[in-house]
Structure 1
């Protein structure tokens, strides 16, 4: 396949697909409109099925044809062909037609202008704002190619906790330089809009979205942005959440704020992505209910170019939560999925956690809003409610580390997000096997070792961090390590004690009709399932119920014994991962082995820390001994409480 590597050279240069047809009995790459009559007849394809981004690969008379309606479709097709070759697929009778089912497939970078990255664990930001626009780092090009290879077509450059300076001419020129790099790879640039920007950089006395001067300021600012970036994608907005300014500061609604910005970008084909991650310290109801309560009443009132971006779960990217009840509850509004690829609550970049298993679990959850089979995936891709626009975002785990993501296996999460954003029905098991083949080798022995390790890794972290539906037990601020005793932050819902409610009587958050009744936000079928102890899946047990320590689990263990044994199971699963990696030692390069081995050793140490610290604390309420099989901690509770991490990476910056 000599011509494939010639074509790779073309990818590195100018992407002039109109002249890219090559025939040497190896590879033909051309748009459908450029195919001659002979190739068209052999192809036998209705080109409308390909849309703007789809591609078709087929072996015809010994040659491999890659065709699409557009340049970007050809690019996606060639990347997929190369991946298929690397994965060992036989091209003799090869055929693949693939089109994305989600329109906007986007990375959200929580990067700050000083190059720190909020919840970033792979070094500093890729974007060197000081050297832009003149200096174009090769990694910007590599970043674009990597994202194009998995179908990512949008990137938001800066933190949702936004800095208004990114909208000033100095930074727009820099963003335009990045957009010029990304454009040829089909990637649009989006910017985070700080709602108070008209005051901070515009000299106005208000940011009220119904004020005519404010509306005009955003119209003029948007016009300026499109002069710099003609294909600018639009604005991503975090408003009235965690202290960020927003329309509610002025007695207005999320609809007022989103639609003001939507009108500004509408003439240019832009969109507004309005995040639904809102919760107020003045609202004493269950935090899990607040986003639903604020947004669902406004269903159908947002403009057509507004997507409401919803986190996959009701609280905050925990190792496991039920899916967010907003999915399925707003049939008149496009809801954009927000996953977190960076491992804020899953061990940072020290822990091996294969997140496509989490993503798949959420996407395949059934909302029942139109009967059985109304999955979250069908809400997200727009098919359930016949939406004309759809989207999926992933909070990036990318930094300037040599391996991009801090942990070599964290690259699988970036890769897997891209695959699921392209097709939310994709299977985590298929993604795992493909990534192993593309990253390490086609060696079946290695695949048989690593694939189960990947697929089981997410359950391991749930077990040693937040078993049986426990959630948000993380030490406050940095979210590094166990801190179920923390109860001193100013607002209740920043305290782990708010979520586990441990006392002498038991543990868990009652979200049934006797508690916060968060169940009412789900469909009748799910409310009945989750609300009934006989049918509630045990992985969500303490998420929905406060239960006594001697409650009997399905396996006959008491809740206390079962909780302790789950923590121990998580530790043992990490030990098994280390043994698996040891068995792979002779199949991979020595440097590959050593790097991951050191990280797995950290993970085992920290899994034991989670187990011991958590059980020592909960034991003060249960008053019970640890069951057989769970070792007695070597340190006491006061030791774990004394641990401080003021310089843990990824901590949210504080602004005046």
Structure 2
């Protein structure tokens, strides 16, 4: 029988039904019986046993023993896994071991003698959810925690069921904490009726090993506490926070702590009272300390005018290094600007030696096509984790620094801004689920490769129903390999059609979706406009951050300042981030800057076209609902990529005065038409 005939035969036997993607990567059904033994019982251990019975893919009649046991090879919530035994030092560790066993059974990975310890003690999602149910930078429906209306604080069976599904998905990838609300926090988050709902959520999350955290407004004492001030050194303010923390822990004994956005983008903070970030953070940390709580203090601060925006967080926080309590962790975005498609790493990583710094990654694709574009973010995060800080010479990667391998901080944490909402498939785009999955897997192990994560997610999410070896081989060759290649290329593709060669923040106003390199209306602060960042003129393009420019290069450890400062040694992926480069400058590849810019934009569009062609061949292997949904979004992504290319090249061509290379596809739009899009 030929391979083609075999494929057709298998397809006739296969019943691929439409589905909405709500099951995420947790769709395994048991293929055999398993006996689970555990001497102790608890809600968490009961879930572990239930998961084994429900998803067992091993030999029929298998036996698994679950055991809490001290082992010098295991730290924190780590575990050790053999063919018939899972043991850990904590109950969540047992649960994580169960999910790892089931994942390996489904993906074909080896099982015997596996020991895993998490890269970070605390692995959190940050939800930017508001009390009215809206989500800032959310693209997948409304909040799963909050809603408006007369029944806003009524907890229903449907609520609990959804929260349970959410908790299960997070636990399956090792996430053990969640900030339930927006960093631009409402003071009402600390009101009794809201805290009561937080208690209800916490009760559902607890058996899955997940702690709740809250983002709080720094001025809450004066806004809801009846005080005249929120000065962190005022005795009445200190007492108010102590009493509020006591109230919270009486309701939620395992409450994790606070996330604070202060003195940033109009949010109140300690500087309003002439105090420092350390004064404000330490006051909250002291209130939480008796209960084991922590403060995550965001470093996303910048003033309306003054120095280069990418330097301001470093200049504010590094002088305070060592002045924070040990339960304060500085939360920094991966880059020094704002979740751009590509940035160098923030110099705070490696810049602070006495204060723990935690990465904040953005899972929701605010700047990367939101719920339309297929952009797998693991390659971006892998690039970040592998970046060399050189704080103690070669090998001082961000993964090692933030994981506590270089400096043994009291706490190690990582957070990801959630892309989860009330849409049936949770994330708005079937492939956006891969970014939730990837964040959890990399938070558990920041040395995992993008390729391994993509391979796992595809196998778990688009499960092959063809049980025999021939069917699996065809599924791997025809579906897994091409889809994985598409995912792994997707981030670089987005960089190419949006902002190649170090360009950054040239989005249209407010929504951060389409291009707007021209946007600079009168009265708007300069660092909110694209021309501030691209600096295009008839001489060249790019932001001069060299020693003769803003000197942002000097914030990094040697040898990076010299590497970034020299036009000849600066990595081309960061070229226009650190340099204002002449249009006719010849790059290493041999092209002029202008020609290479044209080629990159053109390549990005053509790569999305290839994605469409790849996915168009996948209809035989997946359910029709997800197939057509992805197909439609890829068509829209292709149209968007062409708009990005034409808008940027036509706009920058006004400054370069150079023609597009002959082998670059000519524009299909006119610049004046594109400049009107964002005004509608």
> Shorter-chain-normalised TM-score: which range?
over 0.9
Q: Distance in 2 between matches of 1:234 and 1:349?
A: 30
CA RMSD of aligned residues (A): 2.1
Q: Is residue 389–residue 398 contact of structure 2 (8 Å, CA) maintained in 1?
A: yes
**2:365 alignment counterpart:** 343
1:286-301 alignment, distance < 5 Å: 286-301=308-323
Q: Give 3-state SS (helix, strand or coil) of 1:207's partner.
A: coil
Q: Is 2:262 the counterpart of 1:239? A: yes
Question: Which region of structure 1 is more displaced relative to structure 2, 634-643 or 514-523?
Answer: 634-643
Deviations, residues 80-133 of structure 1 (Å, cap 9, x unaligned) = 111111113465xx3321111201100000001111110101111111444445
Q: Contact 1:449–1:584 (CA<8 Å) still a contact in 2?
A: no
Task: Assess if the C-alpha contact under 8 Å between 2:153 and 2:193 holds in 1.
Answer: no
Distance (Å, rounded) in 1 between the aligned partners of 2:152 and 2:41: 25
Distance (Å, rounded) in 1 between the aligned partners of 2:34 and 2:402: 35
Q: Confirm or deny that 1:47 pairs with 2:67.
A: no
Compute the displacement of 1:492 (Å): 1.0
Decide whether aligned partners of structure 1 residues 11 and 362 sit closer, same or farther in structure 2, where only a CA change above 3 A counts.
farther
Question: Which residue in the other structure is 2:67 paired with?
Answer: 31
The equivalent residue for 1:411 is 433
Q: Which residue of 2 aligns with 1:461?
A: 494
Choose from 45, 54, 74 the match for 2:94.
74
Question: TM-score, normalised on structure 1?
Answer: 0.92
| SS across alignment from 2:296 | strand
CA distance in 2, matches of 1:90, 1:200: 56
- The within-5 A match list for 1:584-603 is 584-603=618-637
Cα drift, residue 452 of structure 1: 1.2
Measured in 1, the distance between the counterparts of 2:516 and 2:462 equals: 37
For 2:263 and 2:314, locate their aligned partners in 1 and report how far apart those are by CA, in whole Å: 15
Q: Deviations 1:21-62 (Å, cap 9, x if unpaired)?
A: 9999513232235xxxxxxxxxxxx62322341122212xxx
Provide the residue aligned with 1:470 in structure 2: 503
Q: CA deviation at 1:378?
A: 0.8
Do the aligned partners of 2:44 and 2:92 also contact (CA within 8 Å) in 1?
Answer: no
C-alpha change, 1:379 and 1:355, in structure 2 (3 Å) is same
CA distance in 2, matches of 1:337, 1:5: 41
Q: CA deviation at 1:18?
A: 11
Instruction: Return closer, same or farther for 1:232/1:13 CA change in 2, 3 Å cut-off.
Output: closer
1:452 alignment partner, SS class:
helix
TM alignment of 1:87-166, pairs within 5 A: 87-89=107-109, 94-129=112-147, 130-136=151-157, 137=159, 138-166=161-189
Aligned with residue 274 of structure 2, among 251, 257, 280: 251
Q: Deviations over 1:578-621 (max 9, x none)?
A: 11112333222222221111111010000001001111111111
Measure the CA separation in 2 of the matches of 1:90 and 1:12.
29
Q: Secondary structure at the residue paired with 1:464?
A: helix
User: 2:518 pairs with 469, 485, 488, which one?
Assistant: 485
Secondary structure of 1:490's aligned partner:
coil
What are the residue-to-residue correspondences of 1:214-225 with 2, within 5 Å?
214-225=237-248
CA–CA separation in structure 2 for the residues paired with 1:13 and 1:69:
16
Does the CA-based 8 Å contact 1:162-1:194 persist in structure 2?
A: yes
Give distance in 2, aligned partners of 1:418 and 1:608. 33
Separation (CA, whole Å) in 1 of partners of 2:385 and 2:118: 16
Counterpart-to-counterpart distance in 2, 1:500 and 1:24: 62
Counterpart secondary structure, 1:27: strand
Structure 1 residue 3, shift from structure 2 partner: 4.2
Taking a change above 3 Å as real, the CA distance of residues 223 and 3 of structure 1, as seen in their structure-2 partners, is farther
Partner of 2:468: none
Deviation at 1:135, TM superposition (A): 1.5
CA distance in 1, matches of 2:591, 2:103: 47
Query: Within 5 A, what are the aligned runs for 1:465-614?
Result: 465-488=498-521, 490-614=524-648
Q: Residue 189 in 1 paired to residue 207 in 2?
A: no
User: What SS is found at the alignment partner of 2:488?
Assistant: helix
Aligned residues: 625
Please state how far the C-alpha of 1:324 moved relative to its aligned partner.
Answer: 0.4
1:444 aligns with 2:468: no
Local SS of the residue matching 2:542? coil
Counterpart check, 1:318 vs 2:340 = yes
Q: Does the 8 Å CA contact 1:133/1:177 hold for their aligned counterparts?
A: no
* Contact 1:354 1:454 (C-alpha < 8 Å) held by counterparts: yes
Whether the 8 Å contact between 2:36 and 2:64 is mirrored in structure 1 is: no
- Counterpart CA distance in 1 for 2:42 and 2:422 is 21
Contact 1:108 1:394 in 2 (8 A): yes
Q: Is the 8 A contact 1:346 1:461 kept in 2?
A: yes
What is the deviation of 1:69?
2.2
Residue aligned with 2:582, SS: coil
How far off is 1:633 after superposition? 2.0
Which stretch shifts more, 311-320 or 447-456? 447-456
Provide the C-alpha distance between the structure 2 equivalents of 1:450 and 1:17, rounded to a whole number of angstroms: 33
Aligned-pair CA distance for 1:17? 7.5
| In structure 1, distance between residues paired with 2:262 and 2:580 | 33
Alignment of 1:266-415 (within 5 A): 266-282=289-305, 284-415=306-437
What is the deviation of 1:501?
A: 0.3
Check conservation: 1:352, 1:410, Cα contact below 8 A: yes
CA distance in 2, matches of 1:260, 1:170: 25
